[in-house]
Amino acid sequence: MDPPADTPPGTVASEEITPAELQLAARNHGMPLEALRHPITPLGLHYTLIHYDIPAVDPSAWRLELAGRFERSLSLSIDELRERPAVTLPVTIECAGNGRARLAPRPLSQPWLVEAVGTAEWTGTPLAPLLEEAGLLDDAVEILFTGLDRGVEGGVEQSYERSLSVPEACEPQVLLAYQMNGAPLPPQHGFPLRLVVPGWYGMTHVKWVCRIAALAEPFEGYQQAVGYRIYGPGGAPGAQVTRMLPRSLMAPPGIPDFLTRQRFLEPGPCLLAGRAWSGWAPIESVEVSTDGGLTWAPADLDEEVADTAWRGWSHEWDAREPGAYELCSRAVDAAGNRQPTAGAWNLKGYANNAVERIPVTVRSPEPG
């Protein structure tokens, strides 16, 4: 149905977003970018992504099973896991589809702009000693993590599951986490137990883990072989998606317009600040632009909190001249990875770490 002829401009939507995308976007929420002000994302502001349904778990009946290429099978209750040595780590997690909705044409999936990231303090027990206790056999090549959630994807009914190679799984910072920011995991973040693999894109951090299997052959299930690959132009599944590429985001300054989120600032000095991360190497530098990327100035880096978490940065901007500006930031990591100006298109819209642009208007001073 066409809107009435007297409908004011800017009040009705065009074809932009599909009902399927809107349904996903209403279930899976991002981190509001103003939460970049917090080094640890407060509970409830961390992004979340759930492929199927959030399982309802009775913690007294729940068990973690270890099976496959081990000398012995193990079955552990959540209390038995809590009695094991505990570690707390701040870890930045970003969805591999972050930036997807900035690609053209937009791959049909969860339409993230740039907000699919967060940093929580995860408490749990290191995975490697548990694998050792079960007697990991020499012929094991991968460890498979299975979640309680089931669904259909690409026509295949499946439990959500992903694997890591044995050396990746045995990294000392890999945790089986049961707390987020000091509280039991909320249902949407994997209650009662999830995997945390610092440096890797979100899909690796399997939530609602109920089974850990040691495999003698590489895992060829959907989320490994079909999903989370960078598809080439011929449609062939290319490289697997693994670690997070560098990205810097800015906490948007000033105040927003409710509908457009166009931002307004009073003229004068303005401290631009944000956070940057990479899963490949520590952040080496962050640069800031106020003219849409024509010229760049170095930002000051805050102290590193942990090598598993994002790094804060800031830059003093002299915003005394009224007018329109486009604010950007970009990061480089110590392995030489840098953020591109435009993202490389791929079928599933993964790993688009292109520089984000924030349009702002510096207002004219009030007369008198």
Ligand X SMILES: Nc1nc2c(c(=O)[nH]1)N[C@H]1C(S)=C(S)[C@@H](COP(=O)(O)O)O[C@H]1N2
Q: 268 forms bridges with which residues in the sheet? A: 319
Work out whether the CA dihedral 97, 103, 106, 112 comes out positive or negative.
Answer: positive
Query: Segment contacting Mo ion (CB under 5 A): 38-46, 87-95, 123-131, 192-200?
Result: 87-95
Residue 158 interacts, among ligand X, Mo ion, none and using kind-specific CB cut-offs from 5 to 8 Å, with none
Closest-CA residue to 285 (of 267, 268, 294, 297):
297
In order, the DSSP letters of 142-200 are EEEEEEEEEEEETTEEEEEEEEEEHHHHT-TT-EEEEEETTEEPPGGGTTT-EEE-TTB
Which DSSP category does 224 fall into?
H
Q: Is 202 in the site for Mo ion (CB under 5 A)?
A: yes
Closest-CA residue to 174 (of 210, 126, 208):
126
Report in angstroms how near the CB of residue 175 gets to ligand X at its nearest: 13
Residue 130 interacts, among ligand X, Mo ion, none and using kind-specific CB cut-offs from 5 to 8 Å, with none
How far apart, in whole angstroms, are the C-alpha atoms of residue 315 and residue 66?
A: 49
How far apart, in whole angstroms, are the C-alpha atoms of residue 266 and residue 257?
A: 14
Binding mask 30-49 for Mo ion (x = CB under 5 A): -------------------x
Q: Is 50 in the site for Mo ion (CB under 5 A)?
A: no
Report in angstroms how near the CB of residue 102 gets to ligand X at its nearest: 17
| Residue at 341: amino acid letter | T
Residue 328 interacts, among ligand X, Mo ion, none and using kind-specific CB cut-offs from 5 to 8 Å, with none
Residue 207 interacts, among Mo ion, ligand X, none and using kind-specific CB cut-offs from 5 to 8 Å, with ligand X
Site residues (vs ligand X, CB under 6 A): 46-51, 93, 95, 147, 149, 160, 188-189, 202-203, 205-208
Q: Which is nearer to ligand X, 93 or 332 (CB)?
A: 93
Q: Which is nearer to ligand X, 210 or 283 (CB)?
A: 210
How far apart, in whole angstroms, are the C-alpha atoms of residue 136 and residue 72?
A: 9
Residue 143 interacts, among Mo ion, ligand X, none and using kind-specific CB cut-offs from 5 to 8 Å, with none
Residue 147 interacts, among ligand X, Mo ion, none and using kind-specific CB cut-offs from 5 to 8 Å, with ligand X
Report in angstroms how near the CB of residue 236 gets to Mo ion at its nearest: 22
Q: Which is nearer to ligand X, 209 or 273 (CB)?
A: 209
Q: Which positions ≥6 away from 240 have C-beta within 8 Å?
A: 224, 228, 229
Q: Which is nearer to Mo ion, 164 or 203 (CB)?
A: 203
How far apart, in whole angstroms, are the C-alpha atoms of residue 39 and residue 124?
A: 20
Q: Which of residues 93-132 bind Mo ion (CB under 5 A)?
A: 95
Report in angstroms how near the CB of residue 152 gets to ligand X at its nearest: 13
Q: Which positions ≥6 away from 341 have C-beta within 8 Å?
A: 293, 354, 355
How far apart, in whole angstroms, are the C-alpha atoms of residue 349 and residue 97?
A: 6
Work out whether the CA dihedral 66, 189, 309, 96 comes out positive or negative.
Answer: positive
Q: Which is nearer to Mo ion, 243 or 357 (CB)?
A: 243
Report in angstroms how near the CB of residue 202 gets to Mo ion at its nearest: 4
Q: Which is nearer to ligand X, 50 or 265 (CB)?
A: 50
Q: Which is nearer to ligand X, 190 or 252 (CB)?
A: 190
Q: Which residue's CB atom is positioned nearest to Mo ion?
A: 95
Q: Is 193 in the site for Mo ion (CB under 5 A)?
A: no
Q: Which is nearer to Mo ion, 237 or 359 (CB)?
A: 237
Report in angstroms how near the CB of residue 15 gets to ligand X at its nearest: 27
Q: 67 forms bridges with which residues in the sheet? A: 213
Under the rule (CB under 5 A), what is the footprint of Mo ion?
49, 95, 202-203
